Amino acid sequence: MHPADSLKNLISGGEIVMAPGAPDPLTARLVEQAGFPAVYMTGFGATASHLGLPDLGLMSQTEMTTQARNMARVVTIPIIADADTGYGGPGNIQRTVQEYMQAGVAAIHLEDQQQPKRCGQLAGIRLIPAEENVRRLKCAIEARGTGKLQVIARTDALPASGAEEAIRRANIYRDAGVDLVFVDGIKTIRDIETVARHVEGPKVVSIVDGNETTDLTAAQLGEMGFQVIFYAVSTLFSAVRAVQDTLSVLRRDGTPKARQSAMVTYQEYSQSVGLNDFQSLDDRFG
């Protein structure tokens, strides 16, 4: 079954789709091995792992779709990918949609920021007119044609213009024919409740570590009416802390021994990356 069909079936079947963010293909593997039904290819994480820089629209379309292809090669669960603003005008949007479909992702989200765009949690976001973004979304839908790809409309109006405008845009984008809508930049439970009450149809919510929204469970968010939940930075922030702690111990002690219990073993790591499969190939054909 195509990943887009798998994602669609999960949503239509009433399952709450928890999609942890993965900054790289290795993390995507770990997400699948942990039993999650989908993985989120976050632009925030991709920029961190690929460039070591903040999420300020620095990744190109080619870099992002290459990241998507690399993830799709190593997981079987649906990938929901950040496609930023589509990387330009209608021709760029068309190519972006086609490239992500060829990469094998299940869904992409397109946002209504001006270039240069930035992370939805940051200040200084600038929006394009909602009517212009409707045309861009319709371009993406036409570019998809009969292909298998879910199109998610993301609005960053909440931090830029407030809840009323975010809700207005989300509902307009839904009426444009997208599959799901996504109000980004949520930082409070009150904002989640407002979006849940006033945005109709299938919708996405992003839970970002460091604010109070982490108090809500996936079951509670499902009861509010959300179908897909992104945990965009949880794995990335956990990995950064773990690496910092190990480096601190190594610098202090001159050996990583005190951190051994916090690490996977060589054998466990080899299992995670599928070493046995390649050894089997060598045994049969080498």
Catalytic residues: 119
Closest by CA to 4, choosing from 233, 200, 180, 184, is: 180
CB atoms within 10 A of CB 118: 19
CA atoms within 13 A on the CB side of 48: 17
Closest by CA to 151, choosing from 101, 214, 88, 211, is: 101
Helices (H), the chain: 3-12, 25-33, 43-51, 61-74, 90-103, 130-144, 157-161, 163-175, 189-198, 218-224, 234-253, 266-272, 275-285
Q: Which two tokens stand for residue 34?
A: 């942990």
Place of tokens 């790591």: 269
Helices (H), 157-217: 157-161, 163-175, 189-198
CB atoms within 10 A of CB 114: 15
Which residues does residue 183 pair with via DSSP β-bridges, in sequence order? Answer: 155
| CA 202 distance to own-chain centroid | 17
Distance CA 138, CA 129 (A): 15
The residues near 22 (Cβ < 8 Å, ≥ 6 apart) are: 28, 30, 31, 39, 40, 41, 42, 45, 71, 235
